[in-house]
Chains A and B, each alone.
Chain A
Amino acid sequence: MTRDDHAGARHDHVVPLPIYFGVFVTLLVLTGVTTAAAFVDLGRLNVFVALTIAVVKASLVLLYFMHLRYTARLTPLMVAIAFFWLAMMIMLTMADVVSRGWFTGALG
């Protein structure tokens, strides 16, 4: 971790070209899938499917285009923390919004 630890040369990983093209094609296919899925009535599942596909796409970009798969542990850890914080912000706020009506029910 300290200065003399990284005595080796660059350890930036050079990602092979086929991987880039593979990811690109996958992303295009997933875009098609998500658009198509939106036209199918899945009830509450629609939002779930759309977000799952978005998470998969974002992960592909992060892991391959942004080389997260090949970097030291620190970077993925920090990204995970940031997304965790975001999730907390959304979840705790929603904990309020969703349950606001629950208490008044007893009052009528």
Chain B
Amino acid sequence: MTEQKTPDQKAPATIPAQSKQLPGGLTDTSMRVTGTRLDPSGALGSRAASAAHLDLDTPDHPYLDSNELVINMGPQHPATHGVLRVILKLDGEKVLGTECVIGYLHRGVEKIAENRTYTMFNPYVDRMDYVAAVSNGLGYCQAVEKLLNVEAPPRANYIRVILTELNRLASHQLWLGTHALDIGAMTPLFYTFRDREEILKIFEKYCGARLTTHAFRIGGCLYETYAGFEKDVKNFLKFFEPKIDEYETLLTGNRIWIERTKNVGVISAADAIALGVTGPVLRASGVKWDIRKAIPYANYADFDFEIPIGENGDTYDRYLVRMREMRQSLRILEQAVNGIPEGPIMAKVPKVIKPAPGEVYHSIEAPKGELGYFIVSDGSTQPYRLRVRPPSFVNLQALDVMVRGALVADVVAVIGTLDIVLGEVDR
């Protein structure tokens, strides 16, 4: 996996250049779809044929057989971030192939949605990506607002942006801590949790909940900001800036950290796009694409911030991209908290939400990637069909492509760097 340097990784990803060579799916050497036919010999072909490519009965070569060891990582394993089960086929310590077995946490969120009214379903979305609950709520509320064709008032948008960016920070902190712990550095975990606490305090003071914050309502926000909200956020900004430097001093220049992450789990931009990978993983491969810029929602268009991108699409770049994203979030927060206007926080929304028959797809840039809601309304008070497009689920699909030929330790590193939340993968 080390020398995956297709030219499109180099240049800061001018998209047409990529999409020219995208036809034919993956352009990478180690995984190939020749033309438009699936080539089963190519790694992607065998990857897709997930069960077929690792025959799970133990090999029966009598003597000195150290290869083709099939081990079962998870569902209870310290490094799988929940109940992910990865079946590894190893040659010694080299990974020949993986298969993800998911669904242990499946709660049928989409089925529940069809039996709840739009308002009643709002809290459920927090339980999908419970690390970034506010983002989920924002996506859902805005999708329903789009269906109703109402627009949240400016002040509500500012509050939404502030809380969402804070939540992005919280999610990235949790990712950093657990990722570093997987690679063996215990200390950053405690630093990040110490600082994440400050964010959760703000959430708690705003809406009373720390993790599954049912913060937003369809049409705006239910709660007005508490007294001193701005001051809290500003204090947090002052408090958190040096903390990022602290994390970076521990990791960014650390020789072992670099050796463990550079050229590990490389995925080229073309492969990332073909696999539908979004979020920091896609940006680390050099694709400068962020829904906050491309299709701005809320009032992200009012803020100026950059989209950090990487070059090699390896674990180290993903790490750097997320670290820079934290700093960008701080920029957004600073502008938002200074420019927060007066005014109503709730649009005029009917008591009984009863959208016209129709369908709408709305997606936001969740901390983990594109979080989309596809809602079909039949004109009743309940969604006729609500489809969640979870970033973790789609990103996890890239795991096998990224760890092929790597070592067991790299599998752990890559699972960490994909930043999956099983609650969202399984829904």
A binds B: no
